[in-house]
Chain A
Amino acid sequence: MGELHDAGSYGHGFRRAYAKGVCVSGWFDASGDASHLSRAAVFHEQHVPVIGRFALAVGQPYAPDSAVTVRSMALRLMPPDAPEWRTGMNDPPVLPLRDARDVSDFFASQQIDPATGKPDPARMKAFGMTHPWLKSAADENTHRFVSSGFADDTFHSLDSFVLVAADGTRTAVRWAMIPMQSVEPGDGKTGDRDYLFRKLIGDIHDHPLQWHLVITVAGAHDVINDPSQIWAQDDQTVDAGTLTLNSIESEEGGPCTGITFDPLILPPGIQPSDDPILQVRSAVYMRSFSLRSGEKRSPSAVTPSLIQTSEGRKS
């Protein structure tokens, strides 16, 4: 937590990371195709209520939107008669961190230099040099395709999980939310500090946004417990169902603000893999949540009135 703070996390009631965000809600309809892999209710039921949050992976909640910033989709799926499922996904294909040691070294390398107000480039470079095993993941992410906004972006679980079927069969998987909206490349040249959020608000008011939840089953050569390793392209995939998001609200009073998207809040039928990053995330989100909940919060950059005006523009 100290390292996150020194790396420029803002505090004041905001999430210690992914600070700039907005609440959304909708539902999830299972296709039934994943029900033989997992007994989790979400893979069997229709119209499971969902609360979610889109965010930018920034420490500062008032940072201007930028095309290259990592975007996230976090979801809380709440079947009425079964335990809930929370998941947080990011848009790069891999996580260039392997374990708790890497995480702490990384945030230390991102420490803000008081002289420049930015992380010291030499430190960041040194991190790359001393962590050669992360190079391929970092390259993968630098050269990734960047879409025009949240609505046409693909979000990955990055970490692996284990699905447990009714008969006890265990299957290692990752998953991704793949947009049903047509995908366009982002240009990112705009003077608007909140253009990504403004666009999302407009898109969702235009029509409900949808994604396929696509589950990838680990192949024989895939590394399960290391999110910095990409999986083979020809792995078997299963379309588990459709996410529909039709409503958007500011974090001020929105339904996603008072919860934390701890990736280890899992229903029966989904279990953690031995990926150490999952443990780091669970512990860190818990601490971020207890710190931020005790603080007096300043208004979110994506205010209720921003949501109103973007709505007005559309209609």
Chain B
Amino acid sequence: MSCMASFPLLSRVLHWLMAIMILAMLFIGLFMASSVGPNYHRLVTLHRPLGIAILVLAILRLGNRLRSSVQPLPDDMPRLLRWAATASHLLLYGLMIALPLVGWGMLSAGGFPIPLWGQSVLLPSILPHNPVLWSWLRSAHSVLAFALFGLVLAHIGAALFHGLIRRDSVLRSMI
């Protein structure tokens, strides 16, 4: 069994922090968009800053990843699997950045003020007010959220595959 070193502490902390945040966001998003209950406004109010925090962390994380050492995958893995791993990681980074940007952009296009914190701290609008664009981005936000959800599930599946079936050191390298 090839033995790989662990990821640097910063990478691991970022990974697990964001894992929790993203899963929470997916559920908050789904729940708020399908409910008209007494917590609707509270959930939306939480959804925005948490989403923006994910955006900031994802950019930091991408920087960190480009700068720091990346543990290579075990070399006994088939090429196709390695290719799939790289592609899925790229997509995960892409969605972690694109999804909150689409959220921010769609509210801008919808002509909404975008409170980030309380009622006084607002995000600037990043797109011109355009209802057709708003509607389009609103659908894109759902589609991308479901894509991210699917990808996260596949990612968890792959991690467990490494840890439980292949029993290599990949899962351990992130713990």
Residues of A within 8 A of B (CB): 83-84, 100, 103, 257-260, 262, 264-269, 271-272, 274, 276, 278-280, 282-284, 289-294
Contact = CB atoms under 8 A, between A and B. Distances in A.
Given A293-B134, A293-B135, 8 more contacts: A83-B113, A100-B38, A265-B113, A266-B119, A282-B40, A282-B41, A290-B134, A294-B138
Contacts of A272: 41
B129 A258 contact: yes
A269 B118 CA distance: 11
A257 B44 CA distance: 23
A287 B4 CA distance: 49
A274 to B, nearest CB: 8
Interface in B121-175: 122, 129-132, 134-136, 138-139
B20 interface: no
B37 interface: yes
Contacts of A259: 110-111
Interface in B20-63: 32, 35-41, 44
B111 A283 contact: no
Contacts of B83: none
Q: Pick the most buried of A103, A267, A274: most chain B CB atoms within 10 A of its CB.
A: A267
A83 B122 CA distance: 8
Nearest to B130: A258
A100 B39 CA distance: 12
A258 B120 contact: no
B162 to A, nearest CB: 40
A141 B40 CA distance: 28
B107 to A, nearest CB: 10
Nearest to B32: A283
A280 B139 CA distance: 21
Q: Pick the most buried of B39, B122, B131: most chain A CB atoms within 10 A of its CB.
A: B131
Contact of A258 (B111, B115, B119, B122): B111
Given A83-B122, A294-B139, A258 B131 contact: yes
B120 A265 contact: no
A50 to B, nearest CB: 15
